[in-house]
Chains A and B, each alone.
Chain A
Amino acid sequence: MISMLYFVVESMGSFCSRQQPLNEVDSDENKQAAKIDSRIAEETKAEQHIHKLLLLGAGESGKSTIFKQIRLLFQTGFDEAELRSYTSVIHANVYQTIKILYDGAKELAENEPNSLKYVVRADNKEIGEKLSEIGSRMDSPCLTKEIAKEIVTLWNDTAIQETYSHGNILQVPDCAQYFMENLERFSEVNYIPTKEDVLHARVRTTGVVEIQFSPVGESRKSGEVYRLYDVGGQRNERRKWIHLFEGVTSVIFCAAISEYDQMLFEDDTKNRMMETKELFEWVLKQSCFEKSSFMLFLNKFDIFEKKVHRVPLNVCEWFKDYQPMGSGKQEVEHAYEFVKKKFEELYFQNSKPDCVDRAFKIYRTTALDQKLVKKTFKLVDETLRRRNLIEAGLL
């Protein structure tokens, strides 16, 4: 009787597409499956508690600097090996910078009306040509004391200084001054970059980088867990990969407000601020960010502060209706408020009515200043935690 039952059960199994295993094997496999299921459930739950932050912005808006700052603030920072790895980057940056300045001076000397001030001194020309050639190579040589001396000489040439002060129409990086001032240190034989050096170093981000961290609060209790993503900023096929970030807790959009008079690296006929404006509009319209909070970092405030007095905001088409009001610190605040309002307008114009409950906050930042970044991030953390409580109905 039992064997008949056995037979029936067996044959029943063969009718199904999958063989029904017998009791013991059955329970083993089930146990395995259950284990995997619970593991998946655990990890999904853990994932849900991780707040994902996405850094977006045009090229050179300071995203990667913010990224590095967060590493320095909330992780173990850079170890010696990593610091060393930046040496060649910094040396390359130096060569690139001086090349841009020298080539720029030549260009200005040819095209500008009072060209004489851009003409490099005769005895510096040879140095200039040599450095320009080095800067164009893919692999730059190590920065030796001799070359450093030559660079300093060239840097001190009035024509180069003149070029630097008109750097906006060229692609002179903002940290040119920092590099030139620290040449002696960079050219030391046993040079290991400092944290400050690393923050200034410029590498184009390719692909996506991420770090996970937990900002430790004042009371040292464990805080929220954040995962920060940094993507490259240059014009590329954004629309293809942006949806991979659907449902991030927050988009941190970096806009360098000092760039209102500068042109794009990829297209030197396009004003950088206009590019940022278009990018922000595009990001706001993406449906994948419908539920995400928007944190707008108006970055490079320190450069903005100084530039506002020299270069009127109206040179940028978006800001053409700006009316200067006073002078000194008041003027800076006034100009900053104007820019803020413009971004606010842009935000509300491009947010659909059902996105009204999205958190939107504007922060002024100077990514290179670690203290400021820490303060700013504390505010971001507070906002996101409050959001959580509000959504949970506890506030």
Chain B
Amino acid sequence: MPQYQQQASWRLEGGGQVIDLETAVKDGILGGGESGGGLPAGKDGSFGASAEKLDLKKMIEELDSAAEEDVPSVFICPISLEPMVDPVTLCTGQTYERVHILKWFSLGHLTCPTTMQELWDDAVTPNQTLHQLIHAWFSQRYLRLKKRSEDVQGRTAELVKTLRKVKGQARVQALKDLQKILAAHPAVKKTVADSGGVALLSSLLGPFTSHAVGSEVIAILVNLSLDSDAKANLMQPAKISLMVDMLNEGTIDTKINCTRFIEMLMEEKSFRSEVVTRLSLLVALLRLVKDKRHPNGIVAGLSLLKAICFHEQVRSLIVSIGAVPQLVELLPNLTAECLELALHILDDLSTIAGGCSALKDCAQTIPNAVRLLMRVSEACTQYALSILWAVCKLAPDECAPLAVEAGLAAKLLLVIQSGYNPELKQRAAELLKLCSLNYTTTLFISKCKLTRTIQ
């Protein structure tokens, strides 16, 4: 077959051609645009150097993931339902992706898949026109996408520059715009970091920052990835004070942002527990955790409280604000995820004297904890057991009977019989022994049997 040369007459400028591709692309349903670029067909009639095909393939892929516009149906191969990279036409006039139609033939079919006609000629003709149209269409959109993403980056850099200059309402608006762009195009995080955005945002937080500005800044910062220096800078007392204030006063979204942000800061190596040793923070978290209207807030709040509880020095402060009874009373209404967090916190608090006695003094501790054994997960059972152990050890005469009345014995037997880890089972056994001390054997067994039948 003769080499297929791209003639100037086939090219896109100039009129008087049978097909003026440029105009077709511009005026047709395919939208305006780029010239398709000429490509000489290969020896076997297939299109272009493989480099050209790869380009088209790449563009198709990227545009597919951007998923913005529907590909015109005439570009789609009826067999694979994908845009055609190498369209070939059969004698029936139908066009398919070369690879797929050849496969069809190799399976022994000599029909046109869509019209079901028997083929009188098995030749496949490369449909150059269609190929050029497809290429033009994809190139145009690909270039547009690239430009837009550059645009977005440009816009982001502009916004950061604006933020350096403006104040007041203009500042709040610029921050809102920046947040919108970041939400729509996560890739610009890098641009923000590169243009000194992080340091700028950080500097906007201080003792005289208004709530409006502060809440927007935190909403942005919480979604950026910050390096150690940035985080260390953000741990300054004045900035933390602002975050705590916003935790107290903001909308639920602001509260959750601040909570997550502080938790993020806590993961830093340079973090010192004094940063979170603040009554106002702990009180605000407790309020967040008790707010039944916003389950997201409960999870975020418990998560941060758990991280804070990890630091032993802060535990007594947490107990002093009455966290123990409030958390215990929350337990029945929590989801599984929250239960694990809450029980973990209470378990940590039980390790200090104040926490343990607060647990003992709260009437709901024992019933709630017993109820949660073997109910939710191994971790929950472990924490609940640990709490019960601490409380019963503190005041066995008072607590053991209460626990037994609540059905502890049967639950403990379940734990011992379970497939949970041996340490846990050992603990359960010990607790069972502790609780049985005040009863005669028969009475105790009856307690077990009774509660089991109740269950």
With contacts A218-B169, A356-B287 taken as known, whether A344 is within 8 angstroms of B208 at the C-beta atoms is no
Contact A395 B169 (CB under 8 A): no
- Select the stretch in B77-85, B278-286, B443-451 that faces chain A: B278-286
Select the residue from A219, A348, A390 with max chain B CB neighbours within 10 A: A348
* B237-265 at interface with A (beta carbon < 8 Å): 237-238, 241, 245, 248-249, 251
How many angstroms between the C-alpha atoms of A334 and B208 in the bound complex? Answer: 18
Q: Say yes or no: is A333 at the interface (Cβ < 8 Å to chain B).
A: yes
Contacts of A344 in B (CB 8 A): 278-280
Contact B237 A361 (CB under 8 A): no
Contacts of B168 in A (CB 8 A): 218
Contact B249 A386 (CB under 8 A): yes
Contacts of A362 in B (CB 8 A): 241
How many angstroms between the C-alpha atoms of A179 and B303 in the bound complex? Answer: 56
Contact A375 B208 (CB under 8 A): yes
How many angstroms between the C-alpha atoms of A44 and B248 in the bound complex? Answer: 31
Select the residue from B237, B278, B321 with max chain A CB neighbours within 10 A: B237
How many angstroms between the C-alpha atoms of A159 and B20 in the bound complex? Answer: 102
Contacts of A317 in B (CB 8 A): none
With contacts A348-B321, A383-B249 taken as known, whether A376 is within 8 angstroms of B208 at the C-beta atoms is yes
Q: Say yes or no: is B207 at the interface (Cβ < 8 Å to chain A).
A: yes
Residue of B208, B210, B237 near A333 (CB, 8 A) is: B237
* Smallest CB separation, B112 vs chain A (Å): 66
Q: Say yes or no: is A49 at the interface (Cβ < 8 Å to chain B).
A: no
Contacts of B287 in A (CB 8 A): 356-357
* Smallest CB separation, A332 vs chain B (Å): 11
Contact B283 A379 (CB under 8 A): no
Residue of A340, A347, A378 near B210 (CB, 8 A) is: A378
How many angstroms between the C-alpha atoms of A364 and B287 in the bound complex? Answer: 25
How many angstroms between the C-alpha atoms of A375 and B237 in the bound complex? Answer: 19
* A353-377 at interface with B (beta carbon < 8 Å): 353, 356-357, 359-364, 375-376
Residue of B210, B251, B277, B279 near A382 (CB, 8 A) is: B210
Contacts of B280 in A (CB 8 A): 344, 360
Residue of B169, B248, B278 near A341 (CB, 8 A) is: B278
Contacts of B207 in A (CB 8 A): 363-364
How many angstroms between the C-alpha atoms of A333 and B240 in the bound complex? Answer: 13
Q: Say yes or no: is A43 at the interface (Cβ < 8 Å to chain B).
A: no
Q: Say yes or no: is A345 at the interface (Cβ < 8 Å to chain B).
A: yes
* B207-259 at interface with A (beta carbon < 8 Å): 207-208, 210-212, 236-238, 241, 245, 248-249, 251
* Smallest CB separation, B232 vs chain A (Å): 13
Interface size class of B (residues with CB under 8 A): 20 to 34
Contact A353 B322 (CB under 8 A): yes
Contact A345 B208 (CB under 8 A): no
Closest residue of chain B to A372 (Cβ to Cβ) is B208
* Smallest CB separation, A298 vs chain B (Å): 11
Contact A382 B245 (CB under 8 A): no
Contacts of B277 in A (CB 8 A): 341
Q: Say yes or no: is A337 at the interface (Cβ < 8 Å to chain B).
A: yes
Contacts of A333 in B (CB 8 A): 236-238
Select the residue from A347, A378, A379 with max chain B CB neighbours within 10 A: A379
* B335-356 at interface with A (beta carbon < 8 Å): none
Contacts of A395 in B (CB 8 A): 251
* Smallest CB separation, A322 vs chain B (Å): 13
Residue of A336, A341, A359, A363 near B249 (CB, 8 A) is: A359
Residue of A218, A219, A356, A379 near B208 (CB, 8 A) is: A379
Closest residue of chain A to B237 (Cβ to Cβ) is A337
Closest residue of chain B to A219 (Cβ to Cβ) is B169
Contacts of B248 in A (CB 8 A): 359
* Smallest CB separation, B127 vs chain A (Å): 62
Contact B210 A379 (CB under 8 A): yes
Contacts of B283 in A (CB 8 A): 348, 356
Contacts of B236 in A (CB 8 A): 333
* B296-325 at interface with A (beta carbon < 8 Å): 321-322
* Smallest CB separation, B367 vs chain A (Å): 23
* Smallest CB separation, B436 vs chain A (Å): 39
How many angstroms between the C-alpha atoms of A139 and B430 in the bound complex? Answer: 85
Closest residue of chain B to A381 (Cβ to Cβ) is B210
How many angstroms between the C-alpha atoms of A336 and B241 in the bound complex? Answer: 12
Contacts of A357 in B (CB 8 A): 287
Closest residue of chain B to A325 (Cβ to Cβ) is B274
Contact A382 B212 (CB under 8 A): yes
Contacts of B208 in A (CB 8 A): 375-376, 379
Contacts of B278 in A (CB 8 A): 341, 344
How many angstroms between the C-alpha atoms of A364 and B242 in the bound complex? Answer: 12
How many angstroms between the C-alpha atoms of A376 and B211 in the bound complex? Answer: 12
* Smallest CB separation, A348 vs chain B (Å): 5
* Smallest CB separation, B38 vs chain A (Å): 60
How many angstroms between the C-alpha atoms of A344 and B168 in the bound complex? Answer: 30
How many angstroms between the C-alpha atoms of A58 and B51 in the bound complex? Answer: 83
* B165-208 at interface with A (beta carbon < 8 Å): 168-169, 207-208
* B125-171 at interface with A (beta carbon < 8 Å): 168-169
* Smallest CB separation, A26 vs chain B (Å): 54
Contact B169 A361 (CB under 8 A): no
Contacts of A348 in B (CB 8 A): 279, 283, 321
How many angstroms between the C-alpha atoms of A376 and B237 in the bound complex? Answer: 18
How many angstroms between the C-alpha atoms of A219 and B237 in the bound complex? Answer: 32
Contacts of A390 in B (CB 8 A): 249
* A174-224 at interface with B (beta carbon < 8 Å): 218-219
How many angstroms between the C-alpha atoms of A347 and B283 in the bound complex? Answer: 12
Contacts of B211 in A (CB 8 A): 379, 382-383, 386
How many angstroms between the C-alpha atoms of A320 and B434 in the bound complex? Answer: 45
How many angstroms between the C-alpha atoms of A303 and B254 in the bound complex? Answer: 35
With contacts A218-B169, A219-B169, A386-B211 taken as known, whether A345 is within 8 angstroms of B279 at the C-beta atoms is yes
Closest residue of chain A to B287 (Cβ to Cβ) is A356
* Smallest CB separation, A179 vs chain B (Å): 30
Contacts of B210 in A (CB 8 A): 378-379, 382
How many angstroms between the C-alpha atoms of A376 and B248 in the bound complex? Answer: 18
* Smallest CB separation, B218 vs chain A (Å): 16
Contacts of B238 in A (CB 8 A): 333
Closest residue of chain A to B322 (Cβ to Cβ) is A353
How many angstroms between the C-alpha atoms of A341 and B208 in the bound complex? Answer: 18
How many angstroms between the C-alpha atoms of A344 and B283 in the bound complex? Answer: 11
How many angstroms between the C-alpha atoms of A376 and B283 in the bound complex? Answer: 24
How many angstroms between the C-alpha atoms of A141 and B260 in the bound complex? Answer: 65
Contacts of A341 in B (CB 8 A): 277-279
* A245-300 at interface with B (beta carbon < 8 Å): none
Closest residue of chain A to B168 (Cβ to Cβ) is A218
How many angstroms between the C-alpha atoms of A43 and B251 in the bound complex? Answer: 33
* Smallest CB separation, A390 vs chain B (Å): 8
Closest residue of chain A to B251 (Cβ to Cβ) is A395
* Smallest CB separation, B377 vs chain A (Å): 32
How many angstroms between the C-alpha atoms of A336 and B211 in the bound complex? Answer: 22
Q: Which residues of A contact B (CB under 8 A)?
A: 218-219, 333-334, 336-337, 340-341, 344-345, 347-348, 353, 356-357, 359-364, 375-376, 378-379, 382-383, 386-387, 390, 395
The 16 sampled A-B contact pairs (Cβ below 8 Å) are A333-B237, A333-B238, A334-B237, A340-B241, A344-B278, A344-B279, A344-B280, A345-B279, A347-B279, A357-B287, A359-B249, A362-B241, A363-B207, A375-B208, A379-B208, A379-B210
CB-based closest 5 A-B pairs: A337-B237, A375-B208, A348-B279, A344-B279, A218-B168
5 additional A-B pairs beyond A333-B236, A348-B321, A362-B241, beta carbons within 8 Å, are A340-B241, A363-B207, A379-B210, A382-B212, A390-B249
Q: Which residues of B contact A (CB under 8 A)?
A: 168-169, 207-208, 210-212, 236-238, 241, 245, 248-249, 251, 277-280, 283, 287, 321-322
